[in-house]
């Protein structure tokens, strides 16, 4: 078997990245694909083959069939817990460090609900669509901590969540995975409402502070990297355009074509786990 060819990075792009003061890295599901987390458009296994993931990520789907949606998230949580950051995550963390050491700043903005950027060493990651490891009551909003214990400053009623068990309200489920299973969500002991993942579904507002910071970062960026996203979900998909209008160089890293191309200066076709380490090495050395 021959090794994959090294992606070619233009010297002039490497120079632009090396001298950039403000960098924004916007990531999507493709950034975690090589870690084993399926993207939203990939075919899923088991029960989920019959469902469009985007159709499960809505408040309407949860209201209509909470057991189906909760089961999907329990499965995804256990999958995320078992996955490890890939070289693309590592390169982003290194990029952030290198830009910081030169007196600038690199902001990592992700649409992903996993924590692989953090586990690779990235700092202050902005999660536009929430975090899969966290849960809250769908009715009263009470946070449920990962271990099901009382949330800091809360009155603790979610701690006594019933049904699927508060322990399933957070991290990896007790059974280590629930592929293809319907699971009733735990109930909030305070109000009896169903517990849901603390993530942003279609039609729901993004966390305000996170969105404002991302928007401001894009508007002030010298370089914006759009990594592993189909650029179809708004308002996140607006960020590269905000950056471009403000004069930033926009770089896309993706093995496939996306609708973002007209706004892109550098279209680096390939998987993030190969292209990003090459790009960061070209800019800052091996
Ligand atoms: C690789 C790779 C490798 C593969 N390396 N790459 C304007 C116009 C039209 C509609 C709207 C609009 N503004 C808002 C809307 C509505 C809606 C929307 O955008 N709809 C569109 C589908 C048209 N947006 C919303 O509803 C948002 N909320 C909102 O706007 O609120 C307004 C409001 C204000 C005030 C009060 C109330 C409301 C919320 C959007 C939330 C999205 N949520 C999800 C689920 C998160 C939880 C979970 O994970 O379960 O977020 S949906 C899903 O899509 C998920 C993702 O983060 C998001 C983006 O997907 P992503 O990351 O791009 O993944 P894919 O699968 O699409 O693409 C993967 C890419 O990777 C591909 O390109 C591959 O080629 C590539 N790839 N391997 C690099 N190795
Ligand atoms: Zn409640």
Q: Where are the domains of the chain?
A: 11-36+85-129+206-284, 46-82+131-199
Comparing C-alpha atoms, which of 42, 11, 76, 10 is closest to residue 256? 42
User: Do the domains 46-82+131-199 and 11-36+85-129+206-284 match in fold?
Assistant: no
CATH topology of domain 46-82+131-199: SIR2/SIRT2 'Small Domain' (3.30.1600)
* Across 6-27, average pLDDT: 93
Comparing C-alpha atoms, which of 31, 162, 27, 207 is closest to residue 107? 27
Round to whole Å and give the CA distance between 215 and 221. 10
CA of 143 to the centre of ligand 2 (A): 9
Tell me the range of 37-46, 52-61, 107-116 where mean pLDDT is highest: 107-116
Sorting pLDDT into bands at 50, 70 and 90, what band is 55?
confident
Residue 266 has a CB neighbour count (10 Å cut-off) of: 18
Which residues are near ligand 1 (CB < 6 Å)?
A: 28-30, 33-34, 39-41, 54, 57, 111, 113, 129, 199-205, 228-230, 232-235, 253-256, 258, 271-272
CA of 69 to the centre of ligand 2 (A): 18
Point out the catalytic residue in the list 89, 117, 127, 129: 129
Contact criterion met (CB below 8 Å) for 274 and 34: no
Percent of the chain with pLDDT over 70: 83
The pLDDT of residue 7 is 78
Residue 224's contacts (CB-CB under 8 Å, 6 or more residues apart) are 23, 24, 25, 26, 218, 239, 240, 243, 244, 248, 249, 250, 251
Residue with tokens 């995975």: 177
Asked if 129 is an active-site residue, the reply is yes
The 8-class DSSP code of residue 150 comes to: P
Residue 194's contacts (CB-CB under 8 Å, 6 or more residues apart) are 62, 66, 70, 137, 138, 139, 185, 186, 187, 188
The pLDDT of residue 271 is 97
- Assign domain 11-36+85-129+206-284 to its CATH superfamily: TPP-binding domain (3.40.50.1220)
In the predicted structure, residue 59 carries a pLDDT above the cut 90: yes
What does the pLDDT look like over 120-161, one tens digit per residue? 999 999 999 999 999 999 999 999 865 443 333 333 333 333
């Amino acid at each position: 078997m021959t090794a994959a060819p090294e992606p070619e990075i233009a010297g002039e792009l490497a120079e632009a990245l090396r001298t950039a003061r403000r960098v924004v890295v916007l990531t999507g599901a493709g950034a975690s694909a090589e870690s084993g987390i399926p993207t939203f458009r990939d075919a899923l296994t088991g029960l989920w083959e019959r469902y469009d993931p985007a159709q499960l990520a809505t408040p309407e789907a949860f209201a209509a069939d909470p057991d189906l949606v909760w089961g999907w998230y329990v499965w995804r949580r256990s999958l995320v817990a078992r996955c490890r950051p890939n070289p693309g995550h590592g390169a982003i963390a290194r990029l952030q460090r290198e830009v910081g050491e030169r007196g600038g700043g690199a902001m990592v903005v992700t649409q992903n609900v996993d924590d692989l950027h953090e586990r690779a060493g990235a700092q202050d990651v902005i999660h536009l669509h929430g975090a899969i490891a966290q849960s809250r009551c769908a009715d009263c909003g009470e946070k449920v901590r990962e271990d099901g214990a009382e949330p800091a400053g809360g009155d603790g009623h979610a701690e006594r969540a019933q049904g699927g068990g508060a322990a399933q309200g957070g991290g990896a489920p007790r059974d280590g995975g629930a592929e293809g299973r319907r699971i009733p969500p735990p109930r909030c002991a305070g109000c009896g409402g169903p517990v849901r993942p603390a993530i942003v579904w279609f039609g729901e507002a993004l966390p305000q502070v996170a969105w404002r910071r991302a928007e401001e970062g894009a508007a002030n960026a010298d370089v914006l990297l759009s990594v592993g996203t189909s650029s179809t979900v708004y308002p996140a998909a607006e960020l590269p355009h905000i950056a471009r209008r403000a004069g930033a160089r926009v770089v896309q890293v993706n093995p496939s074509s996306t609708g973002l191309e007209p706004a892109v200066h550098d279209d680096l076709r390939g998987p993030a786990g190969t292209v990003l380490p090459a790009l960061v090495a070209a800019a800052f050395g091996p």
